[in-house]
Structure 1
C-alpha cells in the first residue's frame, strides 16, 4: 500500500499544506485502487496532482469538522457539473450518520436529495469493517468533541502467488485525545498516522480534543506500532517540538508529516 500525504495541516490549511487528506493506493492483482482518508479544506486541488478525480474509488471520513470533510462540496461540483460528464457512478463515502445532511446544508442544498446523486453515503458502524477493492477499513470511536469521531484501521493483503501473503496495516487517528479506541485501532500497526495538534505545557488546560506529541508517542508505544508519523499539526504548533515529545516515550521511527511525501507500507 502506498500513502501520499495530500494535506496535513491541522484545523485549517496552512501556507505549505491543505487540511487533512491522505491518498492510499493498492493493487488487487487486476488494477490499482485509490481511496481517500478525509477530504479537508483546500485538499481537492492538491488531490488532482496525484490522480484524476474519476479514479477515486471511495472516501472514508473520520469525522465532520470542516478541516476533514468540507472539500466534498467542491467534489460535488466536479461530479455534477463537468461539461464533459462524469463517467463513473456516485462516489462511495463512508462517514458519520449526519454526513449527507451536513454537506447539503454547507452547500445550501435541500436535504433531499442533497448530494446523494453524486455520492453514495454509507454510515459507519462502530468496529464493523467495510471492504473496497483490496482495502478493509474498520472504524473505532475516539475522543473528540463531535457526535461521531473515528480512528480508521486500514488493512491490505498482498497475494504473491507463493502462499506467503502479507497484510499491511495503517492506522489513521483522525482527531482525538488519548483513549482506548485509538490504541485498539493502532494495535500492532505497521504505520501509525497520528495527529499531534497540541504541545505539552502550552495546551494542558484543554482536555478531550487533541493529542500532544508525547501522548501520541505513548499511544504508539502501548499499541506496539512499527512506525509513527505525526500529522494534523497547525501553523502555530512546532513540528520539531511534537516529534521530540514523541521520542521521549516511543522508541520506534517517528517523523512529522509533510504534504507531497509518499510512503510505502
Structure 2
C-alpha cells in the first residue's frame, strides 16, 4: 500500500500545503482519494489521472470537499482523457445533496453526479470494499456527521488509520488499533485546554490515541498555518514512544 499526502493543512490552505487530501494506492488497483479540499486537485494531477480515482469523504466541511466540483469538471469534460467509467464515492449520507448544490448552475438546485460516480453512504463500523481496500468508518466527534476511517489492504493486512476531524473519542482507538500508519489531526497543537469543545484534538491527544491503539507510527496532520507544529510534535512525543512526524504535502509512505 502507498499513501501520499496531497494536502494536510487545517481549516485553510497554507502557502505550500493545501487542505485535506490523501491518496491511497493498492497494487494494480485504481487509487483512492480520501477527502478533496481546496488545492488538492492541483496536487492530484501531478501523481495520477484525476479521471481514474475512487473518492472517500470523512465529512463535508469546506476544507475537505471544495475541490470536488472541479474534479467533476475534469472527469466529464477533459478534452483528451475524461473518465470512461464510474468510480465509487462513499461519504456521509447527505453527500449527494451537499456536493450537488456546490456543483449546480442554479440556486437551490442539486446536480446529480450519478453519471460519473456510484454513491454509497457510510454506516458506522460497516466495512466498504473498494477492490483490495476494505474501509471501515468509525464515529468522529465533530459539529457535523463525520467519520474516522480504517483502511486495510486485504491482500497484505496493512492498515492505515485516518482520524479525519474529531475531538477525543474512544472510537478513534479502535479505528487505529495496531495500524501500520496513523494519520491523526492535531489542530490545537500542544493542548486542547481552553479550546472549543467537540471540534479537534491536540498533539498530546493524538499521541495518547496512538499509544492506546498500539499504532506503529504516528503522523500529525490538520495543523493550520497559524499553528505551532513543533509544539504539536513535542506534545505527541510526550505520550507516544513510537515514531512521530509532521505530515505535509508530498510526503509518501510505502507500506
- Which TM-score bucket, shorter chain as reference? over 0.9
**What does residue range 33-52 of structure 1 map to in structure 2 within 5 Å?**
33-52=30-49
Of the three residues 193, 201, 208, the one matched with 2:198 is 208
TM (norm. structure 2) is 0.94
1:75 aligned partner: 71
Q: 3-state DSSP class of the match of 2:231?
A: helix
The Cα of 1:109 is off from its aligned counterpart by 4.4
Residues 173 and 115 of structure 1, relative CA distance in 2, 3 Å threshold:
same
The Cα of 1:12 is off from its aligned counterpart by 1.4
Question: 5+ unaligned residues in a row in structure 2: which ranges?
Answer: none
Q: How many residues align?
A: 253
2:23 aligned partner: 23
**Mapped partners of 2:83, 2:191: distance in 1:** 52
- The 8 Å contact of residues 100 and 116 in structure 1, kept in 2 or not, is answered as no
Query: RMSD over aligned Cα, in angstroms?
Result: 1.6
**What does residue range 112-131 of structure 1 map to in structure 2 within 5 Å?**
113-131=111-129
**Mapped partners of 2:62, 2:110: distance in 1:** 21
Q: 3-state DSSP class of the match of 2:30?
A: strand
Of the three residues 61, 64, 68, the one matched with 1:65 is 61
**Mapped partners of 2:128, 2:142: distance in 1:** 23
Question: 5+ unaligned residues in a row in structure 1: which ranges?
Answer: 159-165
- The 8 Å contact of residues 195 and 210 in structure 1, kept in 2 or not, is answered as yes
The Cα of 1:69 is off from its aligned counterpart by 1.2
2:136 aligned partner: 138
TM (norm. structure 1) is 0.91
**Mapped partners of 1:249, 1:87: distance in 2:** 45
**Mapped partners of 2:80, 2:182: distance in 1:** 39
**What does residue range 75-224 of structure 1 map to in structure 2 within 5 Å?**
75-84=71-80, 86-109=82-105, 111=109, 113-146=111-144, 148-158=145-155, 166-200=156-190, 204-224=194-214
The Cα of 1:85 is off from its aligned counterpart by 5.7
Measured against aligned partners, the alpha-carbon deviations of 1:20-39 in whole angstroms (never above 9, x if no partner) come to 00111111xxx243111111
The Cα of 1:201 is off from its aligned counterpart by 5.0
